Amino acid sequence: MKKDIKFSTRMTSENRTKIKILAAKSGMSMSDYVTACCLGKQIIVIDEQKELLRQLKGIGSNLNRLTVLANMGKVQIISLDNAARELAEVNAALRTLAEGR
């Protein structure tokens, strides 16, 4: 959405610094962060995001390899127990993080 109106406010430099840090931590601009907060939107920052994304990419890569091998006829039976277990761990971690906020 195009931002067509400028809004300014006064605050202490300490509060501005805090908002700037929180916005950066959330991956948002200060404008987007303040707007989201003022509109009551929930902002969830997952510090462990890189590790969770790494795990999900690994699972996706393994599933792609298995699919290719199955389509080539080189794999007849595939056990997805490890992938299911890893997805359950990622899901549990995400739930814990979301509930803890």
Ranges under pLDDT 70 in the chain: 47-49, 78, 98, 100-101
> What is the SS3 assignment for 45?
coil
In this structure, the answer to whether residues 36 and 7 fall within a common structural domain is yes
The pair phi, psi for residue 69, each rounded to 5°, is -65, -40
Residue 31, domain extent: 1-43
Q: What is the pTM of this model?
A: 0.52
In this structure, the answer to whether residues 39 and 59 fall within a common structural domain is no
In percent, how much of the chain has pLDDT > 90? 31
In this structure, the answer to whether residues 53 and 93 fall within a common structural domain is yes
Residue type at 79 in one-letter notation: S
Burial label, 33 (beta-carbon count in 10 A; 0-12, 13-18, 19+): buried
Query: Which pLDDT does position 37 carry in this prediction?
Result: 93
In this structure, the answer to whether residues 56 and 95 fall within a common structural domain is yes
In this structure, the answer to whether residues 33 and 72 fall within a common structural domain is no
Domain count, the chain: 2
In this structure, the answer to whether residues 37 and 58 fall within a common structural domain is no
Spatial separation of the C-alpha atoms in residues 38 and 67, rounded to whole Å? 46
